[in-house]
Amino acid sequence: MKTFTFIYDPEATPKNTLALMKKAIKTGMPYIEKNQLRSPSLKALISLATENRLEIFKKILNDKPSSIYELAQSLGKDLSYVSKEVRVLESTGIIALKKAEHLGRDKIQPVALYDRIVFDFDMALKKAANHF
């Protein structure tokens, strides 16, 4: 099972992110966040991982549509809307858009790269607990 995690991390500010890079360069010690998307803003995380987008992701994972058109058809939604949402899912890194041939025609096939999506708020809770 391959898992992608959306992580709420109040420390993951832009400034701290650049500081982490500087430290990695200075020390030579790798700092690598893989299979995750981290944010200091719960609002930003939620606005990205909307219910509709997760529903589209689930459809891609389970039904393996051969094209965005087929995906839009199975969702009963407008093609331009689904195309836009699929592009956002791709930029998030949880799906890939692969060029595929179907019945002799070139198509773009959305492919799920993960089979489990997790929301992790543990770090925030630990930090909040430290204040008490």
Q: Least distance in Å: CB of 132 to another protein?
A: 26
Give the residue with the Cβ less far from another protein, 87 or 107. Answer: 87
Tokens encoding 112 = 């799920």
The upper half-sphere exposure of residue 8, i.e. CA atoms within 13 Å in the direction of its Cβ, equals: 18
46 CB-near residues (< 8 Å, 6+ apart): none
Q: Is 12 exposed, middle or buried (0-12, 13-18, 19+ CB in 10 A)?
A: middle
At which residue do the structure tokens 């002799």 appear?
A: 104
Q: What is the smallest separation between the CB atom of 33 and another protein, expressed in angstroms? A: 5
- Least distance between another protein and beta carbon 20 (Å): 7
Which one, 40 or 124, has the nearer CB to another protein? Answer: 40
Binding site for another protein (CB under 8 A): 12-15, 17-18, 20-21, 24-25, 28, 30-34, 36-41, 43-45, 47-48, 87-88, 90-93
